[in-house]
Structure 1
Amino acid sequence: MLVSRLLSQPLWVWERTIRYPQTIIKALLYLTLIRSHIQKGYSRPRNFFA
């Protein structure tokens, strides 16, 4: 079964699967911060994405 295969995975696989969503959440937070900065006018989008 798939469950037994998942349970038999080594620790580094679990660590990677746990860390991966955290990096996605951090990236989304950074993107929202950057977007709010651009909307407030601190930096121009052209200069930022150039």
Structure 2
Amino acid sequence: MPVVQRIFEMYPSGLSMHKIAAILNSEDLKIHYGTKFCRKDRPKGK
């Protein structure tokens, strides 16, 4: 999985599973699914 590999390259000293999950939730999931999650926050009229 390239995303996980990139995270380990960013933090070579080692990661806990919580930190990996936090990084995935904060960055990569926003990148891939941001439109789906943010759709409910957009104004309805457009």
Which has the larger share of helix?
1
Structure with bigger RCO (C-alpha 8 Å, 6+ apart): 2
TM range (shorter): 0.3 to 0.5
| TM-score (structure 2 length as normaliser) | 0.42
Of the two, which has the highest radius of gyration? 1
| TM-score (structure 1 length as normaliser) | 0.40
